[in-house]
């Protein structure tokens, strides 16, 4: 029985705590590929490290506890975890994805799984009624992100899960942008949660990792089989780093969100800014739903500058905020979705889903808020044409 009740304590004491052999307060890095067996069929629970490694097991049990699922699985990247989840399906199956899904998720479906006869369709998952009509017999899962990348569109997770259950199909939620500290999809009725743990869970931009959590023993068994059979596992050292990152998730997220709210307000009041996308604003799309299903609006912001501003100049003028792919680290990052994270989506499709060439995405870090605002201020001023 756990000696704590609060989520903040689970971040630090959850999963496997410390090392029972030495009393070390951290789970050691078991840098080994195999485990000696005492006799045929007699082992201590560990055989070969693709199948299971104690350091990886620590992060897997931790994420399962945090997401309130039956079992967790750690992979070498977010895409490896999404690939493992998509390996649950077979030729003839169709998967619905939300329109603003991560570019890599679209790419793996379009360029790899489609070759194996698994089809996909982009749908507006914010409109539950029209979505219901699109659930043909071959649809076997709905894969969503909320808020979704990069327009921070909010989808009603419980609403999707209800429709999916009626049809006997799976709800898969990519919870990368929120983390279990802000939103727990399995509690809202989803079946599977995936993470790019590269982002907030790792939190320090020093690691590539992915996690999956499932809500039934049956899915746990199938995912465990896929993980062992395909082998895209997280290494022991990276598992250790991820556990280390997760311990401070609560305090980091609080600061990320506080900073993001202030930056979003600053941008909205700036006369050079055309539009700000931030789910923490009371007039944002899906605000009420987000408030119901998540603790707050998170720390990602997208915005567009007015036409007279030169976007290239804006990016090159930033001094503190780094122009880089990725998000969720302690340092603030900026990116240009149409040429970076979403470049794998054809231009026509990008325009259709609203990812304009003027769109700028910010991952707000935990620096001093004054420095972030000063940097944005001088870069916007520099880019005025």
Ligand X SMILES: *Cc1c(COP(=O)(O)O)cnc(C)c1O
Rg (CA), the chain: 21
Stretches 7-15, 23-31, 77-85, 157-165: which one binds ligand X (CB under 6 A)?
Answer: 77-85
CA dist list (Å): 14 to 6, 56, 59, 247, 327: 10, 14, 9, 9, 25
Would you say 192 and 165 are in contact if contact means Cβ atoms under 8 Å apart? no
CA dist list (Å): 317 to 225, 286, 377: 49, 33, 10
Active site residue 174: yes
Q: Report, in Å, the least distance between residue 211 CB and ligand X.
A: 10
Residue of the chain from 79, 164, 188, 219 that contacts ligand X (CB under 6 A): 79
Euclidean distance between CA atoms 258 and 298, whole angstroms: 9
Is residue 236 involved in binding ligand X (CB under 6 A)?
no
Euclidean distance between CA atoms 98 and 87, whole angstroms: 19
Would you say 161 and 189 are in contact if contact means Cβ atoms under 8 Å apart? yes
Euclidean distance between CA atoms 106 and 124, whole angstroms: 15
Overall size of the chain counted in residues: 385
Token code pair at residue 378: 């001088």
Smaller CB separation from ligand X, 65 or 145: 145
Active site residue 184: no
Q: One of 30, 93, 94, 102 is an active-site residue; which one?
A: 102
Is residue 149 involved in binding ligand X (CB under 6 A)?
yes
User: What stretch of H or E contains 334?
Assistant: strand 333-335
Residue of the chain from 196, 227, 302, 332 that contacts ligand X (CB under 6 A): 196
Q: One of 50, 70, 134, 244 is an active-site residue; which one?
A: 50
Stretches 36-44, 86-94, 191-199, 368-376: which one binds ligand X (CB under 6 A)?
Answer: 191-199
With a CB cutoff of 8 Å and minimum separation 6, the contacts of 266 are 373, 376
Stretches 32-40, 193-201, 226-234, 248-256: which one binds ligand X (CB under 6 A)?
Answer: 193-201
Smaller CB separation from ligand X, 10 or 144: 144
Is residue 232 involved in binding ligand X (CB under 6 A)?
no
Token code pair at residue 142: 């709905």
- CB atoms closer than 10 angstroms to residue 55: 27
Number of residues that bind ligand X (CB under 6 A): 14
* SS3 call for 172: strand
Is residue 102 involved in binding ligand X (CB under 6 A)?
yes
Euclidean distance between CA atoms 88 and 347, whole angstroms: 30
Euclidean distance between CA atoms 220 and 127, whole angstroms: 31
Q: Report, in Å, the least distance between residue 118 CB and ligand X.
A: 18
Would you say 256 and 299 are in contact if contact means Cβ atoms under 8 Å apart? yes
The residue with its CB nearest to ligand X is 78
Active site residue 50: yes
User: What stretch of H or E contains 120?
Assistant: strand 119-123
Is residue 146 involved in binding ligand X (CB under 6 A)?
no
Residue of the chain from 14, 54, 69, 104 that contacts ligand X (CB under 6 A): 104
Stretches 152-160, 195-203, 261-269, 313-321: which one binds ligand X (CB under 6 A)?
Answer: 195-203
Stretches 74-82, 123-131, 219-227, 362-370: which one binds ligand X (CB under 6 A)?
Answer: 74-82
Active site residue 292: no
Q: Report, in Å, the least distance between residue 176 CB and ligand X.
A: 4
Residue of the chain from 100, 198, 239, 383 that contacts ligand X (CB under 6 A): 198
Active site residues: 50, 102, 174, 199
Where along the sequence are the contacts to ligand X (CB under 6 A)? 77-79, 102, 104, 145, 149, 174, 176, 196, 198-199, 208, 210
């Amino acid at each position: 029985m756990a000696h704590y009740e609060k989520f903040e304590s689970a971040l630090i004491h959850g999963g496997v705590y410390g090392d029972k052999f030495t009393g070390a307060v951290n789970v050691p890095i078991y840098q080994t590929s195999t485990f000696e067996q005492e006799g045929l069929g007699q082992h201590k629970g560990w055989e070969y490290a693709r199948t299971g490694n104690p350091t990886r097991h620590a992060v897997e049990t931790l994420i399962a506890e945090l997401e309130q699922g039956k079992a967790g699985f750690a992979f070498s990247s977010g895409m490896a975890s999404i690939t493992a989840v998509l390996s649950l399906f077979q030729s003839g199956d169709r998967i619905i994805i939300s329109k603003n899904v991560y570019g890599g998720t679209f790419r793996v479906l379009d360029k790899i799984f489609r070759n194996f006869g698994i089809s996909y369709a982009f749908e507006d998952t914010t409109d539950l009624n029209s979505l219901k009509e699109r659930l043909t017999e071959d649809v076997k899962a709905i894969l969503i992100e909320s808020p979704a990348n990069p327009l921070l569109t909010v989808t009603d997770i419980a609403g999707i899960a209800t429709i999916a259950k009626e049809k006997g199909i799976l709800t898969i939620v990519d919870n990368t942008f929120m983390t279990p500290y802000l939103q727990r999809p399995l509690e809202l009725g989803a079946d599977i949660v995936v993470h790019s743990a590269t982002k907030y869970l790792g939190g320090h931009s020093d690691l590539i990792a992915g996690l999956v959590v499932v809500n039934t023993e049956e899915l746990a068994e199938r995912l465990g089989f896929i993980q062992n059979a395909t082998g895209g596992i997280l290494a022991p050292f990276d598992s250790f780093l991820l556990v280390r990152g997760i311990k401070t998730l609560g305090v980091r997220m609080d600061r990320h969100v506080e900073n993001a709210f202030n930056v979003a307000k600053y941008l909205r009041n700036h006369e050079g800014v055309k539009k700000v996308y931030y789910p923490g604003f009371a007039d944002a799309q899906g605000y009420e739903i987000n408030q119901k299903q998540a603790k707050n609006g998170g720390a990602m912001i997208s915005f567009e500058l007015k036409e007279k501003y030169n976007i290239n100049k804006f990016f090159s003028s930033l001094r503190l905020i780094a122009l880089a792919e990725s998000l969720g680290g302690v340092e603030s990052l900026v990116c240009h979705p149409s040429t970076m994270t979403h470049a794998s989506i054809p231009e026509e499709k990008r325009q259709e889903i609203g990812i304009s060439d003027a769109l700028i995405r910010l991952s707000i870090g935990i620096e001093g808020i004054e420095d972030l605002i000063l940097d944005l201020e001088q870069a916007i001023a520099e880019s005025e044409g």
